[in-house]
Amino acid sequence: MKKNNLKKRIITSFILIFFIFLILNSLYLMVSSLLILGILSILEFFDLSKKIFNKKIYHFLSNLFFTTFIFIFSIFFFLLYTFQQSKFVLLVLLIACAASDIGGYTLGKIFKGPKLTKISPNKTFSGAIGSFILSCTCFSSLIYYETKVLNFTIVVIGLMISLFCQLGDLFFSYLKRKADVKDTGSLLPGHGGILDRLDGIFFGIPLGFLTLIFLF
């Protein structure tokens, strides 16, 4: 069963990476994807917050905050897409985020080992290391391919992107733990819901971009 889940997760991840290339080459697909994924993310979060907060005011404020975040994130994503130079940066960040998730899940399942945190019992140190390695490797390789530059700063940025992705993953894992659910949904085979797939991206892209601007 676990092997099937791992295989399903890897296949779905590569399909999603292929989908990333498609949407980045079509304005219509990109805008449509932002709209659909944004709405689905908000709906999943609404359901999650309903299970976390008993008081309606907290439920309302958390939903308002997340909806505002999705709106700002979508605009930020669109602006990065609009400019040719930042479009490549967006692609690199997306691949690095996807690599962080794939590396963490795959190596964590293969090597297992000590647990990383009580927030998410499935997270292991081997998984965290796998996230850092694959994300940093993909990021550094793509930057070198485009600029022919590879130095310590680029490696650090790659590691930081993975760190942000893992923090995003842990943040939503904490919310799921508070809501007493395993996944935010069941829309994606092997991944759960939309938020289960995008949790790292919500942290990794904006914070990764700011780190790239600040350090590179």
Is the pLDDT reported for residue 93 higher than 90? yes
- Return the higher-pLDDT residue of 144 and 25: 144
State what percent of residues in the chain have pLDDT above 70. Answer: 90
Residue 28 has a pLDDT of 84
Residue 189 has a pLDDT of 64
Residue 182 has a pLDDT of 87
Residue 1 has a pLDDT of 47
Angstrom distance (rounded) from CA 111 to CA 58: 40
User: pLDDT for 161-194, tens place per residue?
Assistant: 999 999 999 999 999 999 999 888 878 766 678 8
User: pLDDT for 103-149, tens place per residue?
Assistant: 998 888 888 888 888 888 788 899 999 999 999 999 999 999 999 98
Residue 3 has a pLDDT of 53
Residue 215 has a pLDDT of 85
Q: How many helices (H) and strands (E) does the chain have?
A: 7, 0
For the residues 58-70, what does the mean pLDDT come to? 95
Model confidence, pTM: 0.88
Residue 121 has a pLDDT of 78
* Chain mean pLDDT for the chain: 87
Give the least confident one: 36-45, 163-172, 193-202: 193-202
